Amino acid sequence: MVSTEPINQVTVGVLALQGAFIEHIHMLRSIPGVKQVIEVRTKAHLESVDCLIIPGGESSAMALIAERSGMLEPLRQFVRTKPTWGTCAGMIMLSDEATNAKQGGQELLGGLHVRVNRNQFGSQKDSFKTNLHFPTILGEKQSFPAVFIRAPVISKILDDSVEVLSRLEAKVGQTDAETIVAVRQGNMLATAFHPELTSDNRLHQYFVHLALQAKQ
């Protein structure tokens, strides 16, 4: 019997120290090109994956757990060399700078040359859903249903290597339309929202495609 599986496949890691990692795992399992999905909690787990998703959650708690478990430096090295996608809190973790942090600040992985503002839209009750366009990924006419929960935004691009993928298309509270909510920089992808909380897996497909390309 001839196999119908893609010749090239990737093992995808989802950082499972804290936050909404299960939803990412469920979505990834339905995507062609994914050989295996691993919950990443140790350096050995990290060394076994081709790419990594850092999920939403509480970025300061995630950073603290990573530091206490000896994962901070391995993660810093990984995100600079292999495909990594940060969603919501994960975007904060990847960024070079973060404002509106808790007293005392927090550790960041860095490498993504942006400044983010944490909790841009307020508390959990200020969560919302809106359609976004990703013209370079989905085409001009297709939109994506983005879920924002205590979400950050990108307040400043710090380097020309950062490509803006999507912006808010309407004013939300005190946040203006055209505010940046998704970027790519080389092997790094970052979104301010939770794509795993929808039934739309097109951004997960895109990330897997990036990982497959990197593995060639």
pLDDT digits (tens, 9 = 90+) for 181-196: 999 999 999 999 999 9
Does 15 fall in a domain?
yes
Does 50 fall in a domain?
yes
> What does the buried/exposed string (b/e) look like for 62-73 if buried means 16 or more CB atoms within 10 Å of the residue's CB?
bbbbbeeeebbe
- pLDDT of 143 > 80? The answer is yes
Catalytic residue (choose from 51, 88, 113, 204): 88
What is the tens place of the pLDDT at every residue in 162-184? 999 999 999 999 999 999 999 99
Supply the pLDDT for residue 93: 96
**Does 51 participate in catalysis according to the annotation?**
no
Closest CA to 52 of 18, 20, 10: 10
Catalytic residue (choose from 24, 45, 113, 194): 194
Supply the pLDDT for residue 1: 38
- Cβ neighbors of 46 (< 8 A, separation 6 or more) are 13, 40, 52, 71, 74, 75, 78
For the domain that residue 31 is a member of, what is the CATH number? 3.40.50.880
Domain that holds residue 197: 10-215
**Does 45 participate in catalysis according to the annotation?**
no
- pLDDT of 2 > 50? The answer is no
**Does 204 participate in catalysis according to the annotation?**
no
Does 39 fall in a domain?
yes
β-strands 34-40, 10-15 pairing: parallel
Beta bridge partners of 38: 13
